[in-house]
Structure 1
């Protein structure tokens, strides 16, 4: 086919147009952001208590910020500086010795009961422990912020010293938390107060429990915690900080609350503009299996992994229940082994365990690795164990970090909750068919039956539930760090006097009456009242006219 001169000219014009369009599109795609032309920001993350679930996901975010050209630091205690070491761009700085408390001594059966049934008393006790070093942390952090000209602070939700310093110096800050526990994420059917976490929503909560949780327990909890809060405020005033009696939602109202979660782990509800969910953020780098663990796992096919995190420590009664259940599950061939990360609990194990079959097991043999079915270690490379194909079950305290890692690897759960959000997390695991919940009042037979139910999964509903949650976890964990870093940069570059005008909803600039349309409802009520009055008045006049006319007719007839 040949083109005449006109066709060739038209073709040339079309090609030129296409090239021009392509060049325009290409130049648009290559546009570079300019907001960072003046250089990076000085950003700090402060957290001295709480362990991996408080540290690791935020450290991933600040490390990403460091790779973007910002100067980032992690302020923590001597004991927890190790958490910062894997991150290339993070400068880890010690604030001094950690608060003096031993998880093995703290989490007794009595205190576990207190955390569940008397949360106000439990929180008052935790305040005393968490704020042992407040004065030192406040003064150190204030000087660090001044010396390093900090632009943005990320403060763990337990880190009052960080929030108070940022407030004192008018520095914008972000509150980091694994959970969503403020009014920014509240709804009438959501229990996200620290004292009502046993039921994430009111869906499965009995009426009496709902009534107490709404009207009675808040008063009891405030009464129990108030002396500790007043004492803490007096300490703050003594070092020059103008402390007030206010709940965290009021204190943090102008700050973004950054949570390492996603709907599915936390119940769905509307979110306020100052709340951001960026989870689940799971560290991409983790410790590999030791040679002993790899050999053990390769030699077994159905292994249970038992670990309760950094702080939660089972009592001897708890250990006997779980260990007996595992051994009897092995006798029934539901399992063929288990790995137990003992952490602080090694001294609480009994000498022997006798199962219902009459078999006596030496616990020393388990610690010496001479029992072929048991492998005891103090600390375990959890992620690597969960990803091994022989790991069939994870017996956990139900902390969010462990829950995320188990779902990413597709490992079924048995939750043995201790305190805080763990009871609520266990309920979610159970109702979403991701595993089951073992309670310390259960019998050994109930433990064996629960392990079998989760492992065998006769209906397949647990396998299906875990597969769905695994997909959700893997999808949202891909970009959580990037989204978190973007939010920090938003605060760094768009704040105005420490506030974020674009995130302040209009109701903050209006009266309560106008923002809730009470004036409109009032006007409507007046109009309706006037209309009803008018109708009643007209009806009354009409009735009188008719009645009087009827009476006049009767008189005339007489």
Structure 2
């Protein structure tokens, strides 16, 4: 009986102990869970009150029971901290171009599309109404009607139809200089209205863009289609001088002429034009300059090009190749074009852009050449994109087709499209990208060359003006193109080169190589956007002037005829002119090479080299003099001995 009672008491005690042990385990689990929650909280939650801890413990019951038997995994995110990577503030970028048009505006605006996605605002100063169709999110300040070479025939007829040289270049330059004051006023109004933080200026004949940036003390970045005129290498020249782009194989006379004589003549011809333009600058409060590079020598330049297309040469850090700038997508083929391309296996695409035209004689030769290559089955189809500027002749009687039959698409082997405006552009990239397109007959504009390289199609280039001659030479050197002469077009020459471009195996190999290079470099437009962001941010962070943020950034104002045009009625502090000048001096100091600050003699180390030459000549002179003196001494000594001997005899 007693043993039974004792066993009952023992079992009750064991039960009580079991409950106590279980209770302790529960408490330990709650504490562990509470500790986890506390570790994950920030420092402000470490001072939780007793009540809040109790509520946390109560809330942790369910999580505790869920975690029983489950090994807790460490959250890998706890090992990292988030860093604010946003360096962007809403800022305004004003793009400027004298000529406008697709080839000059697309690189700038494609880069700006990236910046718009990053939160920036962009406006354009250019002729025509470009952005409404192509970039509707970009506001445009128009400088007048769209550039039309046919309406300016007194300028462009001799350029397109006669040999092109630097006198032809000056025809365009003089027309641009006549419009300087009008363009400057448009830039001034747009600057006051849009309040840009940075200018992105197309380089061609666009002095007004850089001058307005200088006047308002706003950073300006230049953009161009090449590095040719902005960087120097003695073996580089330009066909406008009557020289080759690459003087590597030139004779001494040719290299001397192209390095010294022709550039000197060009500078002499430019001198009076610079003086005349400086007078216009003074009339609008812009200081004169001695050369076109002086105003922008320490500015950043973006070149829509790449080495492989360009002749390799050293480039200063301020000059960045960011090309080829390509669009993310292109217009598709129309149903008629698609049908024509699919039904012909060897197609040549022909396009000379929207502004170029040639003589009636040249058009007749081209048409005869097309009929000849079709008749000989070298090419079985031609897509010809016309701009509406052409004046076509009637073919001679020995042909079997009238010109009107071809132009109205009544001939089954030639399909003609017309691009009268930006809204009616022929889908060039889609045509070139088609597998049945074999050759591209082009004027050699940069944009067309880049597109052809991107899809890997050989080019037959007929240059008319500007950089087209240089582009043709460079691509011919790369073994992916052949060029024609507008002053000496011949049917047999055209036919032979069309056939050669299709059959030469080296052309295909070279094209594959250039296509890879083009596609890799086409990604650098994001680099261009990054560089523009850098310039905008740095322009407002002058470490030597603590009042920049107050006077320039905090209350940005734009002067108009000596008055404020901002919301504030305060006048400019006297220190702002000094502050903004300092900004221009140090803005890109990380990329400005030291020689530009050292002066010509010290920067080129001519003083050091001069001393070395003097020492070298001194040593040579001393050696020669010593040798001469020694020889003279020996000769005189021998002569004296003979003379003494003769006297003694």
User: 2:319 — aligned with what?
Assistant: 275
| CA contact 1:63–1:90 (8 Å) conserved in 2 | no
Residue aligning to 1:44: 94
- Segments of 5+ residues of structure 1 without an aligned counterpart are 1-18
Task: Please say if 1:140 is aligned against 2:140.
Answer: no
Partner of 2:537: 493
Question: Which residue pairs with 2:130 in the alignment?
Answer: 82
1:552 and 1:198 map into 2 onto residues whose CA distance is 66
Q: 1:509 aligns with which of 593, 597, 606?
A: 597
Q: Check the 8 A contact 1:107/1:313 in 2, yes or no.
A: no
CA apart distance, 1:64 = 0.7
| 2:401 counterpart residue number | 361
Residue of structure 1 aligned with 2:463, choices 417, 427, 430: 417
Q: Partner residue of 2:417?
A: 377
Asked if the contact 2:384/2:417 (under 8 Å) is kept, the reply is yes
Coordinate RMSD, CA, aligned: 3.3
What does residue 124 of structure 1 align with? 170
Q: TM-score, normalised by structure 2?
A: 0.73
2:517 to 472, 477, 481: 472
Change (3 A) 1:526 1:366: closer
Alpha-carbon distance in 2 for matches of 1:412, 1:100 = 29
Is the counterpart of residue 111 in structure 1 residue 159 in structure 2? yes
* Structure 1 residues 511 and 108: alpha-carbon distance in aligned structure 2, compared to 1, 3 A threshold: closer
Q: Shift in Å at residue 115 of structure 1?
A: 5.4
Q: TM-score, normalised to structure 1's length?
A: 0.84
1:215 maps to 260
Equivalent of 2:228 in 181, 193, 216: 181
Write the distance in 2 (CA, Å) between the matches of 1:320 and 1:165: 47
Number of aligned residue pairs: give it: 522
Which residue is 2:367 aligned to? 323
Q: Is the 8 A contact 1:100 1:129 kept in 2?
A: no
Match of 1:408 among 454, 462, 475: 454
Query: In the alignment, which of 112, 132, 151 is matched to residue 62 of structure 1?
Result: 112
Q: Distance in 1 between matches of 2:203 and 2:406?
A: 39
Per-residue CA deviations over 1:229-266 (Å, capped at 9, x if unaligned) read 443333333333223331x2333201111110000111
Structure 1 position 352 matched with structure 2 position 395 = yes
Determine the C-alpha separation between the residues in 2 that align with 1:542 and 1:213. 47
Aligned position for 1:163? 210
Q: Distance in 2 between matches of 1:529 and 1:48?
A: 54
Q: Does 1 or 2 have the higher relative contact order (CA < 8 Å, sep 6+)?
A: 1
> 1:74·1:90 contact (CA, 8 Å) conserved in 2?
yes
1:107/1:312 contact within 8 Å kept: no
Q: Which moved more, 1:337-346 or 1:317-326?
A: 337-346
Per-residue CA deviation, residues 279-314 of structure 1 (Å, 9 max, x unaligned), is 011112222212221121122111111110122112
Residue deviations 1:50-107, cap 9 Å, x none? Answer: 5222110110111111111112212222x2x234643365333323334675268357
What's the CA shift for 1:460? 0.6
Tell me the CA shift for residue 161 of structure 1: 1.1
Shift of 1:126: 0.6
Task: Name the CA shift for 1:382/1:83 in 2 (closer, same or farther; >3 Å).
Answer: farther
Q: 1:220 to 1:506 in 2, by over 3 A?
A: closer
In structure 1, C-alpha distance between the alignment counterparts of 2:248 and 2:396, rounded to whole Å: 40
Q: Is the 8 A contact 1:46 1:74 kept in 2?
A: yes
Q: Distance in 2 between matches of 1:155 and 1:466?
A: 32
Larger radius of gyration: 2
Q: 5+ unaligned residues in a row in structure 2: which ranges?
A: 1-73, 420-425, 543-582
Distance 1:343 1:128 in 2: 25
Cα 1:225–1:533 shift into 2, 3 Å: closer
Per-residue CA deviations over 1:130-153 (Å, capped at 9, x if unaligned) read 244322221221232233332110
Q: Distance in 2 between matches of 1:534 and 1:412?
A: 62
Structure 2 CA distance for partners of 1:385 and 1:83, relative to 1, 3 Å: farther
> Could you list the per-position Cα deviations for residues 416-448 of structure 1 after superposition, in whole angstroms to 9, with x for gaps in the alignment?
110111112112222222131122313211211
1:182 and 1:249 in contact (8 A); partners too: no
> d(CA) in 1 for partners of 2:315 and 2:202?
20
Contact 2:355 2:389 in 1 (8 A): no
Q: 1:425 to 1:207 in 2, by over 3 A?
A: farther
Deviation for aligned residue 1:451: 1.2
1: CA distance, partners of 2:155 / 2:412: 31
Residue aligned with 1:249, SS: coil
Q: 1:483 aligns with which of 527, 536, 540?
A: 527
SS of residue matched to 2:518: helix
